[in-house]
Amino acid sequence: MLLVYSIKQIKITMKRVTLYLLLEITLVLLSGFKSDDKPEFSPELLWEQLLEQNIDHPEVVMAQAIHETNRFKAPIFTVGNNLFAMRVPRKRETTAVGYYKSYAAYANWIDAVTDMKKWQDAHRKYYSNTAKYKSYYDFLSNY
């Protein structure tokens, strides 16, 4: 029996296979990190990492992490290692390895800090322009 498929059917099938493979890869990446593989976390270590990576306004970013993760207890952090409720970006470089619900998921919390640095680097021109925004707080409230 000869099977005949249209180009449209083949493209749809290829898209489904591609999406399935991406989902599987993401699940493998996220589940492949045992708790022993993850760097130790504490608020003090987070503060050190913010300073080490030269995060702009570390006191604001620390407060954001505490708020977004409900004092580091929310699943966005405990499952997705996302400290700042970051989304997966469409254009800029990211350290995200997949999604947790509609948010970016990271291999570990340090990658989330690194992604915050990448986000700040990509957006610095907007919040360092004092004519448009009075402060980093003002920029964040309008973002």
pLDDT in tens, 64-82: 999 999 999 999 999 999 9
Spatial distance between the Cα atoms of 136 and 60, rounded to a whole number of angstroms: 9
pLDDT at 2 over 70: no
Q: What is the mean pLDDT of the chain?
A: 83
CA distances from 8 to 2, 3, 16, 20, 81 (A): 18, 15, 12, 18, 39
Q: Which two tokens stand for residue 72?
A: 């580091």
Sketch the domain layout of the chain as residue ranges.
1-32, 34-142
Architecture of the domain spanning 34-142: Orthogonal Bundle (1.10)
Spatial distance between the Cα atoms of 53 and 120, rounded to a whole number of angstroms: 11
* pTM for the full predicted model: 0.70
pLDDT score at 84: 97
For residue 15, name the pLDDT band (cuts at 50, 70, 90): confident
For residue 21, name the pLDDT band (cuts at 50, 70, 90): low
Spatial distance between the Cα atoms of 10 and 19, rounded to a whole number of angstroms: 14
